[in-house]
Amino acid sequence: MAGKLEKVRNIGISAHIDSGKTTLTERILYYTKRIHAIHDVKGKDGVGATMDSMELEKERGITIASAATFCEWLDHEINVIDTPGHVDFTIEVERSLRVLDGAVLVLCSVGGVQSQSITVDHQMKRYRVPCIAFINKCDRSGADPDRVIGQLRNKLGHNAVAMQIPLSLEANFRGVVDLLRMKALLFEGDNGEQVREVEIPAERLAEARRKREELIDAASMFSDELTEAILEEKPIPVELIVEAVRRGTLARKLTPVFMGSAYKNKGVQPLLDAVTRYLPCPSDIENTALDLDHEEIPVVLQPDPEKPIVALAFKLEDGPYGQLTYIRVYQGALAKGSVIVNTRNGRKTKVGRLVRMHADQMEDIDAVSAGYIGALFGIECASGDTFVSPGLNLTMTSMFVPEPVISLAIFPKDNKSQINMSKALNRFTKEDPTFRTHVDDETSETIIEGMGELHLEIYVERMKREYSAEVETGKPRVAYRETITQRADFNYTHRKQTGGSGQYARVAGFLEPLADSPVDFVFDNEVKGGAIPTQFIPACEKGFRLCMAKGPKMEFPVTGVRVVINDGASHAVDSSDMAFQAACRGAFREGYLKAKPVIHEPIMKVVVETPTEFQGAVMGLLNQRRGMIVGAQDEGVMSVVEAQVPLAEMFGFSTILRSATQGKAQFTMEFALYRQVPQSVSEKIAEEVALRKKSAA
Amino acid sequence: MKSGGAVCCLARPVGQILSYPYRTLKMLKQDLILRNPLRQLGFETEDILPEGGFGAVLAHAGVGKTALLVQLALNAMLRNRNVLHVSLSDPVHKVTLWYRELFDHLADRYEATQVNRLWESILPHRFVMTFRVESFSVPKLEERLSDLSEQGIFSPEILIIDGLHCDATHEGDLTALKALAGRNRMRLWFTVHTHRHESPGKDGFSAGFSPVAGLFDLVLELQPEHADIHIRLLRGSSGHAAADLLLDPSTMLIKDRV
């Protein structure tokens, strides 16, 4: 693993679900000779694609966890991260993008830029990941790469430029024309492994020349030499174009577009060439860490193996041999026997076994240098942890982790399942920060929380399959919140005299809503003249803060409240921290109910892609679910309807949508915001809460 | 509303703001409507256009036609009027960005509090629909409209059509839209893209727009002059005050002439 850094590529393959990214990865592994046979995603041979290593993924034909794998192409070492396509697993995609240097955006030549591609593209922008595009499925009926390039420009705002044109389309798709070298490429052999270069068919020559002009024109923006060569009307060397396209791609100002059909084994090798030519190597990208000793000042990391180690654990997997931790090394070299410190908890560890992953097979290695991805065995950590050499106190930027929006009670069927369930939960929560679990104090139920129905469903399934934990689930519950809508005063005296030393405390002040504030709770002390002695102020804050966990209205967490105390009283003997905490709890209850509390519910951004003839029906479905339709985009045969719908109304939506559209529509859903629940619904929620309390008692 | 002296374009009408943090949403809305310089277009009634009427905003590319119409729409939404925004050029998310951006600028200028609550409360009054230019047709729009109204999803009172070529080639579409507007008692606003090489005719309209100008009840023109964009009323009832309005190039908000 001590190769030249310029010859290393850490790439991700991101796309909309069903665009064929797992098939593409499979072909990449085949042509780079990492595997010796090709299996399909939903393979008839029962083996399944190599990257979909989890049994469940094979069955559903979707990729859940990003498996990292390593391969070589033209002297280059390529680490490929296969990323999940469903929004419910977005944290996986985001985490993968964090450690990648470049990405291949796979698009379906029929479906084009779909909602998930837009989400993934936003994420790429956020992490500034340069990308190239691959238009897959050119053999499918209705394939139209030109339309997809247009969508890349219009919908995603990419400066997309075709590097190839297809040789026929749909069932006759034979290969591609390489516009750089002006050659037609045909893919022959049983599995398309032989690339044969032929002259461009005469009937396509004019189009190829025109497209090449467009390509050179777009590339010339990034190279003065190229512009000069154009002006001087000299023959343009291929290297000059490659260099210009690379510059544009690295700056995220140009997106070279390739095309093919992974399933039909066409166009994959030129894409691999492009990965080595246009996507960045680790030293092209500037990575920073935060210095915890100096108020988190960003520190630029050097991809130099001689420097102290900085590495990020970006994914955990529990395999048969213990916990496997995927890491990306940003600085230094992680070798067997080296000592590393987990910045989060300061725990020192000696590196034991180091491996390089190839989907679910692995090979042992001695060291992982800066810029590389590898995996460690036997390290206790959570995903997102930073490992450094002793003496350093750096952390990689913490990743944005959204709050869960849905919860579910789970009950193990027997004792054995109970033990296995805890093991499974322990692992899942470490692997995925958006998946959380706790035991409800009142009902003693185990509650799991996550980002959507499917997110939780998959984990329940995995518990059954991987841990033989038979669990039953309760009804999904939405994570409601409470807040207040107006200012209210309180003046509460806590007095208790039941023998022994008494308790006395009085607090006065007001509560008010925190409009448009990112913080949930603000406490201000405006007490003057020592009405409440200073030593009791922290107890007051604690008393109020504790009340935020469970609102007096419906016992949902309270958010968006500013508490101001401005008066009070104490007693020389009977006042204590406890007395003030109790007084604050009473004061909060008193003020809260006067402050017109309301319930807020999570609202999801739902994007439905449907054939245009079902647009009306889809809008009707969303409307029935208290959805507010933001817009409808007419795209010819397909339409995209975007709406904001309460999560509580979205249970079972996929089944209903399928039956209303003959299975032709699909939707994605992600958390958007919290919004006040209408009065009628709020009454229903109150009834449900009361019923639940009664049954728990 | 006029701020005195040499005040920068973002100047707030200091001293006129009721700094009361608990203004109800209704008060806030009312406040924004009252402060809206659009009122100074000189129209006494609430609505600038009559029912079934056509309004147009003429300008060169990139001057601010959409921004002006979005402000008209926001003003209508604050008055609880339903606005259907049909765009033939931008995708839904870009249109929604226009609204949010201009709303934030507006709220910022008038120091509105509870911005998010206010935004949430007016949002149900907007529906964005986008078509590709080549696939847009009036029967198609009508079909979508009946889809929406029959299911009780949305009944627009104001329709904004951004990106339709308002010239002789589309006279048929415009006439059909006029009939649609009359039937549904809607008010329609259009953006009209004028070209720099075209000099205006006697009526002040460009050669392209002139043949269909008869269909329009009100025509505004945006004209960049030095650092300002002037809003000129080319056709309409009482237009003296419109000449006092400008479009602030930094925020794209309508403002009084300083």
Contact B153 A623 (CB under 8 A): yes
Of A516, A628, A632, the CB nearest to B124: A628
Helix (H, G, I), strand (E, B) or coil at A21: helix
Interface of B with A in 168-227 (CB under 8 A): none
pLDDT at A401 over 90: no
**Other Cβ atoms closer than 10 A to B4:** 7
Distance from C-alpha of A79 to C-alpha of A191, rounded to nearest angstrom = 23
What does the pLDDT read at residue B7? Answer: 34
Dump pLDDT digits (tens) for B233-256. Answer: 788 765 444 556 777 777 777 776
Cβ–Cβ contact B94 with A under 8 A: no
Residue indicated by tokens 């929560």: A429
Question: Quick one: which H or E segment has residue A581?
Answer: helix A577-594
pLDDT surpassing 50 at residue A275: yes
Angstroms from A636 CA to nearest CA on chain B: 7
Closest A-chain CA to B114: A515
Whether A630 sits inside 8 A of B128 (CB atoms) is yes
Region A622-646 average pLDDT: 88
d(CA A343, CA B67): 49
Judge: B117–A631 Cβ closer than 8 Å, yes or no: no
To the nearest whole angstrom, how far is the Cα of A676 from the nearest Cα of chain B? 9
Q: For A578-593, write each residue's pLDDT tens digit.
A: 999 999 999 999 999 8
Measure CB to CB from residue B123 to each of A154, A487, A628 and give the nearest one: A628
Ranges A14-28, A388-402, B23-37: which has the least confidence:
B23-37
Amino acid making up residue B63: V
Separation CA A25–CA A129 (nearest Å)? 19
- Copy the structure tokens of residue A107: 């698009």
Please tell me the predicted confidence (pLDDT) of residue B125.
Answer: 93
Q: Calculate the CA A437 to chain-centre distance.
A: 19
pLDDT digits (tens, 9 = 90+) for B74-116: 888 988 889 999 999 888 888 999 999 889 888 887 777 678 8
Chain A residues with at least one Cβ partner in B under 8 Å: 154-155, 486-487, 512, 515-516, 615-616, 619-620, 623, 628-636, 640, 642, 675
Q: How far is A525 from chain B (nearest CA, A)?
A: 20
Q: Residue A541: what pLDDT? A: 93
**Torsion on CA atoms A213, A215, A218, A221, rounded to nearest 10:** -90
Does position A595 have pLDDT exceeding 60, yes or no?
yes
Mean pLDDT of A53-79: 63
pLDDT of residue A119: 67
- Of the candidates B91, B127, B128, the beta carbon closest to that of A154 is on B91
B92–A631 CB contact, under 8 Å: yes
Contact between residue B245 and residue B228 where contact means Cβ atoms under 8 Å apart: no
State the smallest CA–CA distance between residue B106 and chain A in angstroms.
16
Interchain contact B22–A (C-beta under 8 A): yes
Residues of chain A with C-beta less than 8 angstroms from the C-beta of B152? 623
Give the up-direction half-sphere exposure of residue A363: CA atoms within 13 A in the CB hemisphere: 9
Does B91 contact A634 at a Cβ distance shorter than 8 Å?
no
CA distance A224 to chain B (A): 30
Of the pLDDT bands very low, low, confident and very high (cuts 50, 70, 90), residue B5 is very low
Q: Which residue of A has its CA nearest to B25?
A: A485
| Residue B160: predicted pLDDT | 94
Confidence of residue B18 (pLDDT cuts 50, 70, 90): very low
* Alpha helix positions (H), chain B: 25-35, 65-78, 92-109, 115-122, 138-150, 171-184
Any CB–CB contact under 8 A between B95 and chain A?
A: yes
Q: What is the pLDDT of residue A563?
A: 94
Q: Which chain B residues contact residue A629 at CB under 8 A?
A: 127, 153-154
Q: What share of chain B is helix, strand, coil (3-state, %, to 5)?
A: 40, 20, 40
Option in A154, A487, A629 nearest B153 (CB)? A629
Mean pLDDT is lowest, of A603-617, A679-693, B178-192, for A679-693
Tell me if A515 and B151 make a contact (CB, 8 A cut-off): no
Sign of the torsion formed by the C-alpha atoms of B48, B50, B51 and B57: negative
Tell me which chain B residues have a C-beta less than 8 angstroms from the C-beta of A636.
Answer: 132, 135
Considering only the C-alpha atoms of chain A, give the largest distance between any 2 of them, rounded to a whole number of Å. Answer: 105
Residue A239: Cβ-neighbour burial (10 angstroms; 0-12, 13-18, 19+): exposed
Contact A77, A365 (CB under 8 A): no
pLDDT above 70 covers a percentage of chain A that reads: 89
What's the angle, vertex CA A326, arms to CA A309 and CA A423, rounded to 5? Answer: 125
Nearest-Cα residue of chain A relative to residue B115: A516
Model ipTM over 0.90: no
pLDDT tens by residue, A195-244? 888 898 888 889 999 999 999 989 988 888 888 888 888 788 888 899 99
Is A58 or A673 the better-scoring residue by pLDDT? Answer: A673
Q: State whether B22 and A486 contact (CB < 8 Å).
A: yes
CA distance A446 to A463: 14
Predicted local distance difference test score (pLDDT) of residue B16: 46
Q: How do residues A284-325 score in pLDDT, each as one tens digit?
A: 888 888 888 877 788 888 888 888 999 988 877 766 677 788
Q: pLDDT band for position A476 (50/70/90)?
A: confident
Q: Cβ–Cβ of B96/A615 closer than 8 Å?
A: no
CB contact under 8 A, A631 and B135: no
Residue B100 at interface with chain A, using a CB cutoff of 8 Å: no
| pLDDT higher at A397 or A166 | A166
A525-575 residue pLDDT tens = 998 888 899 999 999 999 999 999 888 878 888 988 999 999 999 888 888
**Coil, strand or helix: which one is B3?**
coil
